[in-house]
Amino acid sequence: MTKKEQAIAAVDRYSDELCALSDAIWDHPEVGYTEKFAKETYCAFLKKEGFSVTENLGDIPTAFCGSYGSGSPVVGILAEFDALPGLSQKAESMVKEPVKVGGAGHGCGHNLLGGGALAAAVAAKAYLQDGHVGTVVFYGCPAEENGSGKAFLAKAGAFDRLDAAFSWHPGDCNSVGMGSTLANYKVIYHFHGKTSHAAIDPELGRSALDAMELMNVGAQFLREHISTECRVHYAITDGGGEAPNVVQDHADVTYLMRAPQLPVLTDLYERVTANATGAAIMTGTTVDCEFVKACSNMLPNVVLAKVMQKNLEELGAAQYSQEDRDLAAAIGATIAQKGSFFRVVASQVENSDRRTELLKYADDALCEVVLPLGKESTGQASSDVGDVSWVCPVAQISMATMPAGTPMHSWQEVAVGKSGMAHKGMLQAGRVIAASVIDTLSNPDIVAAAKQEKNARTNGVPFASLIPDGVKPSIPVMA
């Protein structure tokens, strides 16, 4: 057994503890910037294992990092652990059945994401303990959902020391990510008007609600004149009150704007904001713009992606049991419309024999094969990992922890979050990341080539955060 294989075997020694930690995070779902239980659980583990822990990273109470080793290269492992509001769900239930009505739930598998990243960290530590030079840094990154925690950490310089970083995401396939993501802005528009009796003296009122509705109508017309790759979403968060006979003097709407490139996003933001200004002028009201958060688009890195692909192919998919397959089939039967990511990627394979072989597995209830390295593309989602990719080269994998075709942010994903298939996929992701970290620590040419590629993609322009100076994370007051 090689030194690398011996280090990766550490995942097996810690498997029970790592699965218990992941389940504990699932049992205590916490939404962005409130992940107190998760933060304390991870920090206790890291300290016990001899990592040097820094808490309150970037002045964010639930952000932290744990370092092990010394010298260069410095390789990061990115972890997430926040839950989603309103997705509470009982484990392995075949129907939508919340543990707590209206409560949070791990509908994006971040309990597993953090656990798999931690598995990689302990394996990398085992490698460094064997006399190798380099540093591994485990990053506890809060509020990926709706909060862009990594974007704020990147602005604070938390990732500046890194030569490279790796991560993963729970999914329904085993593949290396080659896609970019959409950059986004999240902005709240606060409209201010003047109250009056809506029947007796309506001429004295100035309706903030009218202004907000006019802005939203303008956004609908704007959709025809923006790139098809852009996205504009909104949510009315304050309608001005419940009395229809009172002209509303306040109204708030939150907009999330997405675009594949930063200049396009900036233009989109300016046009949406112009809608808000115009709506205020038309109604005799005023509007204030509150910038909440932003994140950059993801920069793929082929050098690191190939490192992860090699290790994914060598280690293979997780070894699932018949019980795992049966559960996947049962949960899968509750999904009316399944995704087709596996079929899309398999259909792109140029070798016809290999393509035919892969497509035989397209309708399996649980993905047990490794997809080839796909083509670069731009997806419709956003991720704050994008900001890290502008600071240092980054690569990620997806590992099957749920039935094939499971929609993200669904009750079905929450239901399988503590299952055997979830645990097996999580631990296998940890092994693949660990192997990739070890390759990067032991081969300076990988770091040099990855950095050269990243600089080529950015034209050598240093990272500049999209978040304006003075904007802070929306951190709730915790007890």
Q: Do 73 and 33 belong together in one domain?
A: yes
- If you ran DSSP here, which 8-state letter would residue 384 be given? T
Q: Do 381 and 237 belong together in one domain?
A: no
SS3 (DSSP) at 405: coil
Residue 60 structural domain = 3-179+297-458
The CATH number of residue 373's host domain is: 3.40.630.10
The residues near 452 (Cβ < 8 Å, ≥ 6 apart) are none
List pLDDT tens digits, range 66-104.
Answer: 999 999 999 999 999 999 999 999 999 999 999 999 999
Whether residue 467 is contained in a domain is answered as no
Instruction: Read off φ and ψ for residue 52, nearest 5 degrees.
Output: -85, 110
Residue 479, pLDDT score: 52
Whether residue 158 is contained in a domain is answered as yes
Lowest mean pLDDT among 33-47, 247-261, 266-280, 325-339: 325-339
For the beta carbon of residue 377, count every other beta carbon within 10 angstroms. 12
Helices 36-48, 110-129: axis angle to 10 degrees equals 20
Report how many domains make up the chain. 2
Q: Which of 295, 317, 346 is the last residue of a domain?
A: 295
Whether residue 435 is contained in a domain is answered as yes
339 pLDDT more than 80:
no
Alpha-carbon span 95 to 90, nearest angstrom: 9
Cβ atoms of 374 and 178 within 8 Å: the answer is yes
Cβ atoms of 105 and 84 within 8 Å: the answer is yes
SS3 (DSSP) at 472: coil
Average pLDDT estimate for 340-361 = 86
Instruction: Read off φ and ψ for residue 75, nearest 5 degrees.
Output: -120, 130
List pLDDT tens digits, range 129-176.
Answer: 998 999 999 999 999 998 999 999 999 999 999 999 999 999 999 999
Q: Do 37 and 125 belong together in one domain?
A: yes
320 pLDDT more than 80:
yes
